[in-house]
Amino acid sequence: MEFFTFLYDALHFMVLFGIVGSALLVVKFKDLVSATIALAACSLLVSLEFFILQAPDVAIAEAAVGAGLTTAILIFAIKSTRGREEY
């Protein structure tokens, strides 16, 4: 029983690590599309985290908004501006 509690916590921890890691990638990438991809990954993992934290409504909303719409409008914005971070 102890083992499975530990396993669940480890799973939880890995998801959080993924969230923070992809957020760091957003900072790191100079290429804006890559940063958008990292942001989408971050949003999707946050949605999973909401799922784990028993908030299904919020998880659906976050998946729909964070993954679908924010990425779409970010892509539109990148398309209509220059597209690469200069420095």
Partner 1 sequence: MKEMSPIVKTITKISFAAIFLFGLYIILHGHLTPGGGFQGGAIIGTLMALYLVAFGAVKWRKKVLSIIESTGLLVFIGTGLLGLTTGYFFFNFIGGTDNPIFGQQLNGGELIGDVAFPSNSAPLLSSGTISIMNMAVGLEVIAALTLIIVTMGLFAFAGSEEGE
Partner 2 sequence: MMSEIPYFAVVALIAIGLYIVMFKRNLIKLAMGIVLIETGANLFLITLAYRHGDRLSSPIFTSQIMGGDAAAYSLPTPHALTLTSIVIGVATTALLLAFFMKLYQKFQVSTIDDMRRLRG
Partner 3 sequence: MSIGHLDVILIGVSLLAFGMLISLLRLFLGPTSPDRVVALDTINTLVVGMMIGLGAFYEQVILIDIAIVYAILSFVTTLFIARYISSRKEKEESQ
Site for partner 1, rule CB under 8 A: 56-57, 59-61, 64-65, 68-69, 72-73, 76-77, 79-80
Rounded-to-5 percentages of helix, strand, coil across the chain: 85, 0, 15
Nearer to partner 1, 34 or 71 (CB): 71
Of 4-33, binders to partner 3 (CB under 8 A) are 4, 7-8, 10-11, 14-15, 17-18, 21-22, 25, 28, 30-31, 33
Smallest gap from Cβ 78 to partner 1, in A, equals 9
Q: Is 55 in the site for partner 2 (CB under 8 A)?
A: yes
Q: What's the min distance (Å) between Cβ of 80 and partner 1?
A: 4
What CA–CA distance (Å, rounded) separates 20 from 49? 12
Integer Rg of the chain from CA: 15
Kindly state the tokens that stand for 1. 């029983």
| Interatomic CA distance for residues 31 and 37, integer angstroms | 10
